[in-house]
Structure formats: structure tokens, C-alpha cells
Amino acid sequence: MRIKEESDGVSASRNHLVFAYYVTGHGFGHATRVVEVVRHLILAGHDVHVVTGAPDFVFTSEIQSPRLFIRKVLLDCGAVQADALTVDRLASLEKYSVTAVMPRASILETEVAWLNSIKADLVVSDVVPVACRAAADAGIRSVCVTNFSWDFIYAEYVMAAGNHHRSIVWEIAEDYSHCEFLIRLPGYCPMPAFRDVIDVPLVVRRLHRSRKEVRKELGIGEDVKLVILNFGGQPAGWKLKEEYLPSGWLCLVCGSDTQDLPPNFVKLAKDAYTPDLMAASDCMLGKIGYGTVSEALAYKLPFVFVRRDYFNEEPFLRNMLEYYQGGVEMIRRDLLTGHWKPYLERAISLKPCYEGGINGGEVAAQILQETAIGKNCTSDKLSGARRLRDAIILGYQLQRVPGRDIFIPEWYASAENELGISSGSPTYQKSENSSLMNSYTEDFEILHGDPQGFPDTIMFLKSLAELDAVSESERTPEKRQIRERKAAAGLFNWEEEIFVARAPGRLDVMGGIADYSGSLVLQLPIREACHVAVQRNHPSKHRLWNHALARQQAKGQGSTPVLEIVSYGSELSNRGPTFDMDLSDFMDGEQPMSYEKAKKYFARDPSQKWAAYVAGTILVLMTELGVRFENSISMLVSSAVPEGKGVSSSAAVEVASMSALAAAHGLSISARDLALLCQKVENHIVGAPCGVMDQMTSACGEANKLLAMVCQPAEIVGLVEIPSHIRFWGIDSGIRHSVGGADYGSVRIGAFMGRKMMKSIASSMLSQSLPSSSGENIDEYEDDGVELIEAEASLDYLCNLSPHRYEALYAKMLPESMLGETFLEKYADHNDSVTVIDPKRNYGVTAAAKHPIYENFRVKAFKALLTSATSDEQLTALGELLYQCHYSYSACGLGSDGTDRLAKLVQAMQHSKSDDGTLYGAKITGGGSGGTVCVVGRNCLRSSHQIIEIQQRYKKATGYLPFVFEGSSPGAGRFGHLKIRRHISSKLT
């Protein structure tokens, strides 16, 4: 439901209502927008009790009325910020737990009593979850007013901090479900926990003084360019310098604790009224939040913004800002090093064009008043909770319920696509159009290699050809160019050769997390792949982006080799679309920098940490092969392997990047060696503790065959033909998986702990100091038994221990779990070079150690069954092995609600009495904790119909229609590379 953007004001139909308005403790932006709604409620003659942790002046500077009551209570801590730009995800969850979860019972008791004591007619929340539950317990209606909800924000934190925090997200969503409806502000995020929605215009604080009055008071003439620095506190350790500003500019600094500022910086008072100052400025530099974006749009103030890390509200606000031509993104490195000039000059050339309503405070107040007197402001047609546990974990992946959103603005659709609801790559289409297959020769001369008829490769070549058609003049609200493509348009010199590589993702059929324990694994390269284009240019001929050029000019060194990367679809998890660096930054004196330094280099700006997967391949080539890069490098990354699905999107990017770089620099690297090099990128530069099976499959796999590999460390034992009557599918759960997350890493640590313990047990048995689990001593064993124990005392890989030996000697002697500190005291080290034990964390040991031992056996049995006689028993046995693997993941703590649901749906289909089931098994894949489920079934049309039926049942239960992975394609080694040059004739036309 939508409310008209203009109204005649709030006209009270009851003279005196009492509102309880709860305000989240996350920043001033929420408090400042609450002020506008509260002001209009008080103007209408009502009492408003504001429950907040914000300073009183935020409210009293705008509202001087005896009808305003401020109650200083913090019930919602929001996101804990490590500094002005960085959210600490784990600290946020922990603080919320301390603030709102642990004292929950007493909070509810207190709030219910308080609400009854003030005789509240309506509870309003922005956007405190427990307020909705307290209102329900008190028998009072509640409404939320917001552009995001905390279940949406915290869901991403859970993926990084560990699924043991999921209950926080579920509880928050459950609290929100008690809310009657949502008053939704522009710049909104998906909020699946709410039942019904009313959209209102921007809520913006009013101006008190004109631009001319403010400038006169500050003593600043109209000829002076003025930028307002609005970060809500400066980044830690940051010192402003005079040379940061262009000549003749002044900067107004909000919220600064610094006493000494350069002469061209002016410190503002803590309680300065920023709307007036913004309207008097020529542009603003700061971080994106609802308050800054809404007021920048309202006052047509160009906004130079720097991304915040790990705050999923930002892409939606950013896209709205850019859609109305009001935003310029600044790289954090340039912010902190003072390369401001190109961004500020770009900003003042913009002409922001937002013409929408800015009276959202008045409209929202009217709706709240009508609700408080009993009017039903929403339709009953779509009422009812639209949220289940699966959907909550990543609410932004939910597809909209048809008919629920009457109006979907373009800025929202753009942000939604950036967050991965649709394909991450603007170039990827599954088209079999024959005319397209033949058209690439019109654009490029193929000097080496063969596109092999792959539609995605041909589409990638077509997208390259279209880049130079992207022009600045085409960027209007009506015809909005994708900004990654704008950046890519200036990336290549079309007169020079370009090298293109392709690497697919993979479906983990069997093996999964047992790879780091040395298991046999069976992996299928999928149809979806990553393409990377690379070009070398002499530094003097390389086209630099403005900020990179400004950086080089500031160094005064002339033209030096630079790396520039554009990544299509890079907005997933709010990342920057471009990355650049001087290649000399990779050097530490005469030698390449250490991997540890590189890891810190990329981690310093999490919005650009993704570049470690791409640029990290350069450092690995420098370090491991002694390659020196004397030329500038341009790279374009376009991946159709969706992120967070457990199908190795990161390995595809790494393998494609290194393959293209190797081709461009004339390096001959075998597919196996290239995979091992890419694993170093992931383990040591990205910092994800994965095994090598992902990179091996992406590099060495072949279409429609299972790559069989023993991960000790990476020995390919052959390609396994998939019998013609058997087929594999992958079904995406919609729950984001992260191999860098806490759960995957802790399970790996638990497995290595278990190995160390078993080796210690075997060593003790050899010395006859410890009886076996059956009470036997070592001298009771035959020589063969002694040799086995000797081998187990020096066990290199956990998977070399057979299940029966594990059960006979070790199963009863391993603890279920162990505190890291206790383990380190007793064993000193777990002997895993890519993980670090947290002394304060408790690690599961038994399940983590048992899984790879049994998984190795299951994979061997699975491989043998594939070559056995065709029968239903063969398929049933294959499926049973998948199921066993799935539940073993859960025992380790790596299951998820979505993947469990999919496995149960496959079981229901398999055992349905009314249907002839042709699906036989399913398992969670890769690192677990979400992602994709692998399904095995008979290769027939009926199976395809049943997969579609599972899709529909899952969507009905969760609101999310799963993506299905089917089909296969060759690895990077088999594809090789393309060397292309643009046809001069096609460029001229």
C-alpha cells in the first residue's frame, strides 16, 4: 500500500494520544529522522515518549514542548563500529546478546509495565525488535518506521561469526512479526519479517536558515567552494592535512575530537545543526547512512562517499543516491592518504535530480495517528507472516511475493541485483542463439585459441566489444549505465592484444570438507564459469583512472606500472567494483612482500578485499616462480559462478585470473601446478583455510566427468565417467555459505586436533604407557598390529586411518569437544599451517575428526558403485552415501535449515507412495553452513520434473526459488586461453 506524497498535515481526530517511540542505538541518523515524525505528532497535540540512548539535544534542539518525554534506555545496540568506517560483526552480535538477549525476560517485564503505566495508545519502533514483542505482551498495537531491519543486517554477520549465533536473527524476526505493519522509507532493504508495508516519502529535517545566512555567519563568501566532512567521527588515527583540499576550498568538520586542524578546515560544534550546513555547502564527504543520503538528496548536495564495511543497508541507499546523480564513490585508501581532489571536482560537476517528496515525517505521523485511533491502514489481503527460519538467514536473497510491492523503484531493483538476487554478471546469458555464436568474429580477430562455442564466452567477447560504446553522456536516470561497465570502458587499449581465460565453478559430489584431511574427492565442473580478460601495457601508454593518476602525480615518479581491476557483479556483500594499486606496492625492498603483509594489505579496506583473489595471483607468481611484472596490467573479471552458494566462486576467479595472467606474460604452467598456486592465494593472501579440490577441479576438470583426486596434497587419480543413466544436480538453498566463516574454520581445527590426539594416543600405546580402549596393552598385539600403531603414531593425513581402526582404538578416547587453551597446554600445536587456535573457543573434536575418516570410505565406495552394474540398488546405494555425508556435516555443526529442508524434500520425493521417485539422495556441499545441495538421480525427464517440484515446494515454504545447477563445462586447462585483437573496422563503425 502506498500513501500519497503530499498531505494536508496531521489533523487529530482524537485530541490526545500517547505514543511510545523506541529508537535504536545505531548512530544519530535514526534519532534525527525520529525527530521529524515526533515533531508532527506533538504539533497535532499528542504526547510522545521517546525511548533512546541518543543525547537529549538531538530532540530538544528541534522540539521544545512539554509533550515530549525522553526516557534514556538502550534496548538495541545496533552495529558496533570498530571505527568510523568499519563494523565489528562479531562484537555487534555479542553486544546485542548482552544488551537484548540475556536480559530479555526482565526487559519485557519492565517495558510492559512501563507501557501500561503511560497508557500508550501505540508503540512505534525505529527499529528496536523487542519493542514489538513488548507491545504485543501489553496488548498494544505496534508499527515500525524504518528503511532496514536488524534481522537483515545481522544475517550477514552470522555467516561470518558462526551459525551458533543464528538464534539471535530468528528471535529478532520473531519480534518484528508482532508488528502490525511497516512504514517503509525510501532507500529500503528487503525486510521479510514484516507482514504489510506502507511506503512514504523521504523523512528529512527542515532547514532553519538559508545558504546565504549560514555562509554569512561563517564568514564564507559565495566564491569559496565548501565541503562538509560528515563521518560521525573520524577514522581512527587519521590526521587531516591542508593539502587534502583543492586550492581555495574550505572544509567543515563534523564531530571531530581533534583540537588542531589545518587552516582550511573548520571544526563544527558537536550539536551543530547539520541540515543548514549541508544546504550551504557545495558537496559532502562522508559515509552513507539514511540521514546523510536523504538530506543530500533533499538539498541536492553532491555526496562523495566512502563505503562502510559489513553494513548491508548501504547498497540500497547508494544506488538511490547514484540513480539521482548525487553520488561519487571514493576509495578508502585515497580518503586516508588525502587524494581528494579528483573526487571533489567530479562531485561539483554533478547535477543531483531528486524531485520526490521530502515530507515523510508528516505523512508517517498521520498514518501513526490514524492507526492509534483504530483505523486499519493496511489491506488484509496480504497479511500473515512471510518469514521462516531459512529465509531469515539471508533475507536479502528472498524474492518478492508477487503483488506485495505495488511500486518497485529502479534504484531498488539495481541494489537488489547487486546483492546477488539475480545473476552476478551482466554479461552472462544461457543463450543458444546461433547468430550470436557466429557474431564474435565481427568484433575481434582470434589470434590464438578457440571459444569452443560456449555461449557465455561469446557473450563475454560481445560485452568487451560494446565497452567503448559506454559514454558519460548516456548516464541519465532514464538510461542508467552499470557503473562497473563505465569503469571497464576505460580499461583497455583497443589497439593492443587482450588475453581471455575461462574457469568453471564446481559441484562437490563427494568429498567436501574431507579434502584438507587427505580424502579422495569426486568433483564435477559446472556450466557456470568466470571469465577474465588481461592486457599488458607500457606504463607510459596505460590509461589511468583519475584518482590513480592523481596518486602517481603526487609521488612525482612519472609513469610506473599499475594494476587496475574491474569486477562485474562485485557489489555482493557491499564491495567496491574497482581496484587499483601500484605494482611496486607488492615489493618489500628487492623481494616480493610476504604473504602475511599482503593479507593485511588487502584486509585494510574490506570493501576491496575481494581484489585479493585476483591481484593475489600476481604476488604468488612473483614469490613462487620469480616472475617480475614490468608493465601495467588491466584486468576485467566477469563471473557467472554465484557467490555464497558453495560452488567455488572464489576458485573460479583465482584460476581464471592466473590463467589469463600467465597467458599474457608467456608463462607455461601446467593445470595442476596452477591449481596449487591458486590455493596459496586462497590460503595465505585471502586467508581462507580451504583444501585444494576447488582449484583443481576448476583448472583440471573435464566436462561431464567427475574429477577423482586424492588430496595428499593433490594427486589426480583419474576422470570418472558418469554412467548415462545417472545425473547430478545442484540446488541452491538461498542461505549464504562462507568458507571464511567461523564454523568451517573451527571444524577444520577440530579435525586437526583429533589427528594430533590420535597420534599421541598411538605413541603412548607404543610406549606401553596407556592401554587401548579395549583394555589391551601393546604387547598383546602381533607384529602387524604394532606396525599399524606405528603408522598411526606418525599419521600424515586423517583419511589414511580406516573407519574400523578408528572405532577399535580411538573413538572412545577422543573428547567430544575441547577448549583451545586446554589443547594448547597439552599438545602445543595442531600442526595446521592455515588455521590458528583461539584459546578461548571450544572446538568440537569427535564429530570433526570422525567425518573425514568415514567420508573417505564413502567416496571410495561411491566411486566403485559408479562402475557397477546398472540397477535401482546401485542408485539407492549412491543416494544413501550422499545422505550419510549430509548428516555427518550436521554432526560437525555445518548444517543449515535450508539445506536440511532440501534434503528432506528429496527424501519425500524418493519415498512418495503416490509418485515413482527417480531421485535417490542429497547432501550439503563444500564448506557447509548453507550453500548448495548435490542431488543424485536417474537421468530421465521425470527426474527433471521432480527437481522442478522441489524448487516450487521450497519456494512455497520459504519464499525463495532455488537456482538449479545442471550441466558441465571443461576446466581452465582444457579451455586454454584466447588471444584477441579488436578489428579496426568494427571499432570505426
Taking the C-alpha atoms of residue 149 and residue 134, their distance in angstroms, rounded to an integer, is 17
875: which 3 cell numbers?
A: 542408485
Taking the C-alpha atoms of residue 41 and residue 43, their distance in angstroms, rounded to an integer, is 5
At residue 203, φ and ψ (nearest 5 deg) are -95, 115
Taking the C-alpha atoms of residue 629 and residue 766, their distance in angstroms, rounded to an integer, is 54
With b for 16 or more beta-carbon neighbours within 10 A and e for fewer, the 505-526 pattern comes to bbbbbbbbbbbbbbbbbbbbbb
601: which 3 cell numbers?
A: 594489505
105: which 3 cell numbers?
A: 525476560
**Interior angle at CA 512, CA 707 and CA 154, nearest 5:** 135
What residues does 535 pair with on adjacent strands? 634
User: What amino acid is encoded at 544 in this protein?
Assistant: L
943: which 3 cell numbers?
A: 527426474
What residues does 919 pair with on adjacent strands? 937
H or E element, residue 981: strand 977-982
What stretches of 626-732 show up as alpha helix (H) in DSSP?
Answer: 649-664, 671-680, 693-700
321: which 3 cell numbers?
A: 543516491
Return the sign of the alpha-carbon dihedral for residues 918, 920, 926, 932: positive
Is residue 63 a contact partner of residue 38, using CB atoms and an 8 Å limit? yes
Residues 426, 432, 438, 444: what is their CA dihedral angle, to the nearest 10 degrees? 20
- Going from the C-alpha of 122 to that of each of 143, 415, 902, the distances in angstroms are 8, 33, 41
**Burial of residue 221, with CB atoms counted within 10 A of its CB: 0-12 exposed, 13-18 middle, 19 or more buried:** exposed
Q: Mention every residue, 6+ apart, whose C-beta is less than 8 A from residue 925.
A: 507, 508, 512, 646, 647, 730, 931, 932, 933, 934
H or E element, residue 573: none
What residues does 786 pair with on adjacent strands? none
Taking the C-alpha atoms of residue 188 and residue 360, their distance in angstroms, rounded to an integer, is 14
Residues 949, 953, 954, 958: what is their CA dihedral angle, to the nearest 10 degrees? 150
Taking the C-alpha atoms of residue 424 and residue 416, their distance in angstroms, rounded to an integer, is 11
Cα atoms in the Cβ-side hemisphere of radius 13 Å centred on 863: 23
At residue 562, φ and ψ (nearest 5 deg) are -130, 145
Active site residues: 694
- Going from the C-alpha of 474 to that of each of 413, 469, 470, 477, the distances in angstroms are 19, 10, 7, 9
